[in-house]
Amino acid sequence: MDSSMQPILDKAAVLIEALPYIQRFNRKIIVVKYGGSAMIDEELKKQVIQDVTLLKLVGFKPIIVHGGGKEISRWVEKTGMEPEFINGLRKTDEATMEIAEMVLNKVNKSLVQNVQSLGVNAVGVSGKDGGLLKVEKKLSDGQDIGFVGEITEVNPKIIMDLLDNDFLPIVCPVGMDEQFVTYNINADDAACAIAKAVNAEKLAFLTDIEGVYKDKDDPTSLISELSVEEAKGLIGDGYIGGGMLPKLNNCIDAIEQGVSRVHILDGRIAHCLLLEIFTNKGIGTAIIGDKDMRYYNE
């Protein structure tokens, strides 16, 4: 065989490896929480949008739920204010809430623009639209942190209507309470709540870490797959801390509420979504139900 054919055969092998995953998840809903460095770096942003667009074109029903924390902080500082955090949560006064909503809507329409440029119809919505995300004031260890919302109810009709009409929904994490007051929502919480409400097959978190480690100080201890029981064990034994703790608790909650698989991925890796979903080994951590079939053989 001509050696020049090998790169072509390698590409064919990759496509064949992806086939069973495309078959399994055809017409299934996947929620992608988009945040971290992948939102700041223009090349990474382009690759994430390419990944999600490809998922749509091969038969998935993707939904993007995005954050914008770093961009919000930048604009808060531009106005002369100092970003303030309590227990890792942004303290959001009325002026900060106004900036946050402005920035998140700007990010939202930028993502719509990027998806549209690749030939897929996208619609950007806020959690305020159609009563998608209803909230109440969230406290942090009893402290008032301003206009930060805890989701109490999800009305997924607007998202399901968009999916049924072949649109890719892009959701901005802002909601309203019973008095129609606007609140900022943690994007991880929004993605988790939406995934449960639409009965998503998968929920993927794009983060700035490679996944879940058995030992946070040992990069070789990355866990490819983790059952809910194993995840609870790691938390109970004190292996999980910092920002990973609420994220992993969100993953466990999503699985227990019917989401089939939750993936924690390093959004700094080019095309991380495709590598995790369409390859046998994957690159991040997949959290699965205790009785679900494992994909990976360690």
Side chain identity at residue 46, one-letter code: K
Q: What is the DSSP letter of 293?
A: P
Q: Which residue, among 191, 123, 195, 197, has the nearest Cα to 156 in the 3D structure?
A: 197
β-strand partners of 64: 32, 170
**CA of 296: how far to CAs of 151, 213, 216, 279, 290, in Å?**
34, 16, 21, 10, 15
Neighbours of 138 (CB within 10 A): 20
Q: Is 68 within any annotated ligand binding site?
A: yes
Q: Residues 6 or more apart from 59 whose CB is under 8 A from it?
A: 22, 25, 26, 27
Q: Is 184 within any annotated ligand binding site?
A: yes
Ramachandran angles phi, psi of 2, nearest 5°: -65, 125
Q: Is 69 within any annotated ligand binding site?
A: yes
In the chain, what is the greatest distance between 2 CA atoms, to the nearest angstrom? 71
**CA of 245: how far to CAs of 185, 235, 242, in Å?**
18, 7, 6
The structure tokens listed for 258 are 């019917």
Say if residue 202 is exposed, middle or buried (CB neighbours under 10 Å; 0-12, 13-18, 19+): buried
Q: Which residue, among 99, 98, 72, has the nearest Cα to 85 in the 3D structure?
A: 72
Q: Is 59 within any annotated ligand binding site?
A: no
Annotated binding-site residues for substrate read: 68-69, 90, 184
Annotated binding-site residues read: 68-69, 90, 184
